[in-house]
Structure 1
Amino acid sequence: MPTYAYRCRECTDTFELRRPMSEAGAPASCPDGHTDTVKLLTTFALTGSGAPSPAPAPTGGGGCCGGGCCA
C-alpha cells in the first residue's frame, strides 16, 4: 500500500498515511485533528547496483588491419 505525505495548514506539521491508491485524493486529517491539510508531492530515486554499467572500452592493437601488422 502506498504512503502519502501531507502537511497541515493549521499547525504546519507534516505526516504520512498509508492508504490504497483509490483513496489517494481523499481528504486527510492531521494527527492533531485538523482538517485543513494538503497532500505533498513526493519523489523517489532508484540508486545502487541495479543500473546496468556501461560497456567496457575496446582494447587491442588498432593499426591498419585491426590489430595485426600489415607488412
Structure 2
Amino acid sequence: MPRYEYRCRPCDTTFELNRPMAESSAPAVCPQGHEDTVKLLSTVAVGGSAAAPAAPAPRGAGGGCCGGGGCG
C-alpha cells in the first residue's frame, strides 16, 4: 500500500499515512487531531535522478590476451 506524506497547517507537523491510491486525496487528520492538512509531493518525484549510475564493467576470469594461461 502506498505511503503518503502530509503536513498539518495549524501545528506544522509532517506525518505519513499508508492508504490506497484511491484515498490519497481524501482528508487526513494529523496525529494531534487537526483536520487542516495538505498532501506533500513525494521526494522521489521532486528530487529523483535523471540517470542511474553506470554499473561496473563485468570482470573476466583473468589473464588478458591469453585467457589466463600464462603467456610466454
Provide the TM-score with structure 1 as the length reference.
0.62
Unmatched runs of 5 consecutive residues or more in structure 2: 58-72
Q: Give the drift of 1:2.
A: 0.4
Match of 1:21 in 2: 21
Match of 1:58 in 2: none
Identity %: 62
Match of 1:4 in 2: 4
Per-residue CA distance 1:23-64 (angstroms, 9 max, x = gap): 011000000000000000013247xxx766498xxxxxxxxx
Structure whose alpha-carbon radius of gyration is higher: 1
Unmatched runs of 5 consecutive residues or more in structure 1: 56-71
Match of 1:61 in 2: none
Structure with more helix by fraction: 2
The count of aligned residue pairs is 53
Please provide the CA RMSD for this pair.
2.6
- What is the letter of the counterpart of residue 27 of structure 1? P
Q: Give the drift of 1:7.
A: 0.3
Provide the TM-score with structure 2 as the length reference.
0.62
